[in-house]
Amino acid sequence: MPSGLTESGTPATRLSRPWQGLGLLMVLLVLLRLSIGWHFLFEGLQKVYSLFTPKPFSAAVYFRESAGPLSSSLKPLLPDPEKELAAKLSPEGIQARWRDISAPYIEELSGEARAKAESARDTSQSEAIKWLAGGNAVARKTYQKALARWESSGNSSDLEAANKARKECVELSIAYRKKQEALATELGALAGMKPADVLKLPKVSPETGTDALPLFLTDSSTVGSIRSSALDSVRTHLTSQSGEATAKEGTWSRMDKAVRLADDWADKTQAWLGFGERSVETPSPDGKETGALKQVLTTPERIARHKKLTEALDEQVRSRRSWDFLKDVDKASLASAKAAQSKSRAELSEDIDKMESDLVKKLQSMGATAQAVPAKMKLLDIMDLVTIAAITAIGAGLFTGTLTRFAALGGAAFLLLTYLAVPPFPWLPNPPLNEGNYVFINKNFVEMMALLVIAATPSGRWFGFDAVFMPTLFGYEDSGKERAD
């Protein structure tokens, strides 16, 4: 009998499913679907979890770094981080923010409690404005620079500038001296000593003459030596006084308390003297960690540095110079410039945000409670929620085999959008947190193609809930039956 004919000579019926007999291929396609589904589902659940943490998921960072065909549509949807930072870094902005933050807590108070809360707000606001101006650190640095300039030149104008800068530094020196005396008094009371025996302070009066205020009187590096000197005096005194075992036990107990007290004093005094400055790191232009520049800058110096970093980055982006196959050095330079600007902005925001958080904690400790005010949903917030829901739904559909083809097409569309937002085109800068080296094809594109393959197959009916739902909803025949042409 000729192949393909029945006994009656009519053509043989075809199998109702073209995949019948391809068991291994079907298993591999199902495993591919389950793998991609798990990837999407876990990403979605992780983002859902982040909504209940201090750092919820936001696509703002990804959209902000977009440079592909969709960047012109995405970036206008985002708030400008530089404008937001500029609003924080001004006395008027600080006053407005402190007023808005404290208002929900203070408006429910009255009488003495309200007065105390307002005083706490005003004190915190003054500290924030002082930090913006550089705090104690800028006073020290200004005086040191002015004094060094006068010592090298000897000009009367430089002497006048040094005396002017000296006034703030004199107040700082007097306050520092009082903190040292307070340490000596506390340790003396603990060890049974006179404060003068605990800490022998230099007899220098900062009230007269420019030369009468040595730099060590306002140098934060002296905090450690003062702590050590005071503890050495206490240790010597307690050791000489101890005799019996019970006395020795009390001696070590008091010594332990003295060490904790001195350490607490040193930490707070160091922070007080350095208020208004921070150690910052500027990445090397070639992106190598070994070339990073570390500096200790005051807040005004950090703000000026941030403006320079922003201007340099804008100029580099505008020039679009050498973003091609042969100029990887410039790509590294651009990535380094972006990282430096982003880190600088984050550090400045972090400092001012911490002061806001401390204000809220202080108001709460005073018994003030804020009235719940529903937050206004922004367009970006809605986009974030839609993204989280879509990723989770796509992952669940692929993993469970429910509406598999719709889930696969939705996942492919989502990956296409991410690809067009930040494509691996050789003439564009490398995207942030880029893994590997790609030219035109990246992981998103490969996974998108895999999803299109899955969408072309009925894998959900091979292994998944589609095997139950599809015949019921759409009247599909069972895969085991045959039908004639």
**Cα–Cα distance for residue pair 93/82, rounded to 1 Å:** 14
Task: Please tell me whether residues 201 and 89 are part of one structural domain.
Answer: no
Does the residue 14 lie in any domain?
A: no
Residues 6+ away with beta carbon under 8 Å from 450: 32, 36
Do residue 315 and residue 281 come from a single domain?
Answer: yes
Domain interval for residue 62: 23-77+378-474
Length in residues, the chain: 485
Q: Is residue 354 part of a domain?
A: yes
Number of other CB atoms surrounding residue 141 within 10 Å: 21
Spatial contact of 63 and 76, defined as CB atoms under 8 Å apart: no
The upper half-sphere exposure of residue 480, i.e. CA atoms within 13 Å in the direction of its Cβ, equals: 1
Instruction: List beta partners, residue 278.
Output: 297
Cβ proximity of 267 and 318 under 8 Å: no
Residue that terminates a domain, selected from 220, 240, 273? 273
* Chosen domain end from 223, 257, 273: 273
Furthest CA-CA distance within the chain: 124
| Pair 288, 350 in one domain | yes
Q: How far is CA 389 from CA 34, 43, 255, 460, in A?
A: 19, 11, 59, 21
* Type of residue found at 177: R
User: Which phi-psi region, left, alpha or beta, contains residue 276 (left: φ > 0; alpha: ψ -120 to 50)?
Assistant: left
Whether residue 404 sits in one domain with residue 347: no
Phi-psi region of 135 (alpha: psi -120 to 50; beta: other; left: phi over 0): left
Residue 16 inside a domain? The answer is no
Cβ 381 vs Cβ 77: under 8 Å: no
Domain boundary at 232, 256, 273, which? Answer: 273
Domain shared by 246 and 365, yes or no? no
Please check whether residue 92 lies inside any domain of the structure. yes
Same domain flag for 53 and 173: no
| Residues 359 and 291 occupy one common structural domain | yes
Q: What is d(CA 196, CA 187) in angstroms, rounded to the nearest whole number? A: 11
Over the stretch 232-250, which tens digit does the pLDDT of each residue have? 999 888 888 755 544 555 6
Q: 162 and 239: one domain?
A: yes
Sign of CA dihedral 227, 233, 238, 240: positive
Rg of the chain taking only CA atoms, in angstroms: 34
Q: Is residue 463 part of a domain?
A: yes
In angstroms, how far is CA 244 from the centroid of its own chain?
Answer: 55
pLDDT given at position 15: 46
Instruction: For residues 307 and 291, state if they share a domain.
Output: yes
Tokens of 476: 């599909």
Interatomic CA distance for residues 243 and 249, integer angstroms: 10
**Do residue 300 and residue 402 come from a single domain?**
no
Residues paired with residue 11 on neighbouring β-strands, in sequence order? 5
pLDDT in the model for residue 24: 86
Element (H, E) at 253: helix 245-273
Please name the amino acid found at residue 173. Answer: S
**Residue 484: inside a domain:** no
Give the integer Cα–Cα distance in Å for 230 and 232.
5
**Number of domains making up the chain:** 3
Is the domain of 121 the same as that of 244? Answer: no
Residues of the chain with pLDDT under 50: 1-10, 12-15, 208, 245-246, 321-326, 478-485
Buried b (16+ CB within 10 A) or exposed e, 420-437: bbbbbeeebbbbeeeeee
Same domain? For 122 and 142 the reply is no
